[in-house]
Structure 1
Amino acid sequence: MKTAKQKRFAAVFAGMLCISCLNAPLAVDAESAGTAGENDTIATAEELPLNTAVSGDISAKGDVDFYQFTLPEDGLLQVSMIADWVSDFGDSYRITFYDADGNQISQDDYVHSNTQFPANGWTAGVYYLSLAPYYADYPPASTYTLTANFTPKSQWESDSAYELEPNDSFSNANALTLSAPCRGVFHNYQDTDYYTFTTDLPGKLSVTLGDETQSSGYLGWSLFLYNSDREQIGKTELTQGTASVTIPEQGFDPGTFYIQVKTNAMTNVNWSGAEQYTLTADFTPTDSTYESEPNDSTSRADVMLPNTPVSGKLSDESDVDYYKVTLDSAAQFSLCLEHALPDDLSSSGTPWTVTCYPFDEK
């Protein structure tokens, strides 16, 4: 049975660790008796070939093993670690990933045995990983086996099937394929991921954040939607025990949109695990019979044709929608608002207000 800490690791390696094919090629002995101690720093890191199993061991107290691997192009990295599990006290590792400059990407403690981790996309380049005993005075007695399986982005089921790090700002947001799920990973409690997409037509848009393993209870996750001006136009939160949340469907004008997914940072908790989520932006083209945001002023009012119903949605308590109707000649004019409200308005707040303005007056 996994302890809570063990489960958190099933997070950590997230991005980069994942149990892959257990029938991988025969392991290469990277740390024979003659090489032990020669890969104790990033500068002396041994090469970890892609799609090849490599074996080693933490030979003594204070020993650390560093490996270097190179991704020839953008793609999905899945690293598996296989090690004998002897007891709850020994045979546990601390595993850390670094970028080419030696900056720490993620770290997890109490790693052992065969554990499946979520996979993550990474940009082409050089990376490092290190293995050290979790208990410094009790190095694991058995050997370990590492396998870094790599799948080029060109072989993904869609261009955005996986998050592609780094994507921690608007400027390096991942391109997101509409109506196709994308798997992303939080590497630590401060991680935030950005995505972007562009629509050429007006349409209905909703964004869903999924948590298949319901691991969000540890921190809670937030989901934000922004327009091309990077103004927030939608928000929701995913909490413990919830498999998914959705920013409700709304109609929008054509344009570029951004999505931000982040953990709800807990400054007093040094959480270093990684958790995987699924992100989907669903879009359906519409015509003039559906509201198209932004329409929050007379200058941005949606055109409404006489005798033609228009569907709209007030996204929150501060939302206001404007429509413009043009009559070719003098005529009687009436407006009908169809809506669904609870029987008891006293428990739900203020009902909607509809106001008509003549075109030539303020």
Structure 2
Amino acid sequence: MKKISILAITLLLFLSGFTATTTVVHADTVLPFNTTITGDISEQAPKDAYTITVPKAGTLTITANVYFNAALMELRDSNNELTGHTKGIYNGRPENATSLSKDINVEPGVYTLFIKDANKDSFGNYNVRVSFDPANNNEIEPNQTFTEAMPINVNGKRIRGFISWNDTADYYKVELDEPGRLVIDIDSKMFNGSVKLYDSEGEMISWDSLGFYNGLPLLWNSHTDLEANIYYISIKGNDSYQGIYEMDVSFIPANNDEIEPNNSRESATPIVVNDNKVHTGFLSHTDKEDYYRIEMKYDGFLTIDFSSEFSGYSLMKERSISYDSHLSSGAVGKPEKSSKRVELKKGTYYFIPSIKVLWQGGVYTMSFKAEPAFKDMTGRYTPAVTYLADKEVAKGISVSEFGVQDNIKRVDAAIWLAKIMNLDLSDTSPTPYVDVPERAWGAVNALKREKIVNGKSANHFGANDTMTRGEMALLIQRAYKLSGDGLKLPFTDVSPRYEEAVRALMKNDITQGKTAVKFGTDAAITRGEMALFLYRADTK
């Protein structure tokens, strides 16, 4: 093969009618983009080499037309490593070329394209053209290993990455400052590939295939519930799976209020029933169950309101086997809400939310309401009796009855009032009143010390006498220091002794009269009514 000067080549092309982008070249020639180069393969020169400079990551498209029987085309990098597969081009004829177009994903660098004969006895002419489509990726290279992983911010800008022959894996580093859900969305034009999530020690948490490209972008989405820590995301391909992908990494904080660690009975978070709060917890791949301790202060019913996408729960008594359980059947973004009422004996219980299926966790919410199991506790009295039972102010007259309609004695009313006010009951010395039983000494001494109650005489409290509505009004008005200023009473049975107390209770919506004109000052008050009045006064 004779070498021809560039000037001679240009003149020859001009005279022969070729366009200005067609050039005849030989071995070791620079091959610019979008320019058709012609050459020939002979027994004396069985191989031509072309230098291609790639300025950034992207896709080279190499198109060759071969006018002889068998040729080979291959691309090698600066280390002489094969980039892409060697391609055979067969069955070309001088009058009818065989064409081949090949896309090769490459990183920036200098490459050498070789065109050569395939079987040592097939020679002739060919032409070749190379075009380049930049990937326009915004990843920061190198990011092929854990140590090189590119740091990214959750809920930040979209990442455009590129997998090539020279770079089959990209790593990203994500740091979570709090527990929550990591969401990864990937749009890919790779034929396939994989996405993996690793923990800070490099242990794989999850793996999935990106799917198979069918002419439309591959849309892949996953969520993983994680604790605060450092994590790594890898996007991987191979010699068949390459190309552009775009990735969004977002984060939804759990905003859980549990006290960690709470993964055992010993570390269980205490929950107060009837606290009118919705508690939020969180389960993850490293925290698969949480423990909460619940005290039932009486035999009664516990209502459990629970919400979760996937998690379930168990209710266990002390060290015994499962007492009750539930499994949620929600979906991502659609938690299932459930409400369950169970009858329990007085005691300590453990409420245990846990991951039940496929390691699916996430946020859960829960609230607890308890009420005693007294048969005579109707709807009107339920909130008040439950309130007093929760505060351990009052018990029932039996296991099954509170005694709502029973009259309350002065000694019992004194005990209830002292307890609900959290007075210091430590002075358990005998009272001045000979009729006060020992069980009430602390309460009566405390009320007398606070100038809330007096005896009926110097040495008699009237402990076993029935408490009247007027006496109840005096006790509550003094205890809570209520004022009835400005209120005019409509009642005809309220003497001056009780007038200020009754006005105070009416003004503060603690009680009304028996009728429009009668307060019922001397009428006995029942245990149920006393519970109502104390509940209203204490919650205001």
Map 1:224-303 to 2 at 5 A: 224-240=196-212, 244=218, 246=220, 248-263=222-237, 272-273=239-240, 275-276=242-243, 278-289=245-256
SS state of the match for residue 307, structure 2? Answer: coil
Is contact 1:302–1:323 with CA below 8 Å preserved after alignment? Answer: yes
Instruction: Indicate the structure (1 or 2) with the bigger Cα radius of gyration.
Output: 2
Map of 2:130 onto structure 1: 146
* TM-score (normalizing by structure 1): 0.55
1:270-313 Cα offsets, whole Å, 9 max, x none, are xx54532525242134251499xx98956xx9999983353756
Is contact 2:59–2:133 with CA below 8 Å preserved after alignment? Answer: yes
Map of 1:60 onto structure 2: 42
SS state of the match for residue 147, structure 2? Answer: helix
Measured on the aligned residues, the alpha-carbon RMSD in Å equals: 5.0
Residue 187 (structure 2) pairs with residue 204 (structure 1): no
Distance 1:241 1:193, change over 3 A: closer
Map of 2:60 onto structure 1: 79
1:104 pairs with one of 53, 58, 82: 82
SS state of the match for residue 282, structure 1? Answer: strand
Residue 157 (structure 2) pairs with residue 169 (structure 1): no
Map 1:312-323 to 2 at 5 A: 312=282, 320-323=287-290
Distance 1:55 1:331, change over 3 A: farther
Distance 1:65 1:256, change over 3 A: farther
Is contact 2:71–2:88 with CA below 8 Å preserved after alignment? Answer: yes
Is contact 2:291–2:351 with CA below 8 Å preserved after alignment? Answer: no
Is contact 2:138–2:161 with CA below 8 Å preserved after alignment? Answer: no
Gapped runs of 5+ residues in structure 2? 1-18, 90-97, 311-324, 329-348, 353-540
- The structure whose residues are more often helix, as a share, is 2
Map 1:329-344 to 2 at 5 A: 336-339=305-308
AA aligned to 1:145 is R
Map of 1:27 onto structure 2: 21
CA distance in 1, matches of 2:236, 2:201: 20
Distance 1:257 1:295, change over 3 A: farther
1:15-49 Cα offsets, whole Å, 9 max, x none, are xxxxxxxxxx95373x53xxx34x3xxxxxx4445
Is contact 1:250–1:313 with CA below 8 Å preserved after alignment? Answer: no
Is contact 1:295–1:322 with CA below 8 Å preserved after alignment? Answer: no
Distance 1:119 1:145, change over 3 A: same
CA distance in 1, matches of 2:51, 2:42: 21
AA aligned to 1:284 is F
Percent of pairs identical after alignment? 12
AA aligned to 1:205 is L
Distance 1:80 1:290, change over 3 A: farther
Runs of 4+ residues deviating >6 angstroms = 301-306, 324-327, 329-334
Distance 1:207 1:118, change over 3 A: farther
Map of 2:163 onto structure 1: 185
Is contact 2:36–2:129 with CA below 8 Å preserved after alignment? Answer: yes
Bigger relative contact order, structure 1 or 2, given CA contacts below 8 A and separation 6+? Answer: 1
Q: Deviation of residue 227 (structure 1)?
A: 2.1
Distance 1:115 1:339, change over 3 A: same
AA aligned to 1:172 is E
Q: Deviation of residue 320 (structure 1)?
A: 4.6
Distance 1:334 1:113, change over 3 A: farther
Is contact 2:41–2:117 with CA below 8 Å preserved after alignment? Answer: no
AA aligned to 1:195 is Y
Q: How many residues of Structure 1 are paired with residues of Structure 2 in the alignment?
A: 275
AA aligned to 1:282 is V
Map of 2:73 onto structure 1: 94
CA distance in 2, matches of 1:241, 1:145: 27
SS state of the match for residue 159, structure 1? Answer: coil
CA distance in 2, matches of 1:245, 1:304: 44
Is contact 2:293–2:350 with CA below 8 Å preserved after alignment? Answer: no
Map of 2:103 onto structure 1: 117
Residue 280 (structure 2) pairs with residue 310 (structure 1): yes
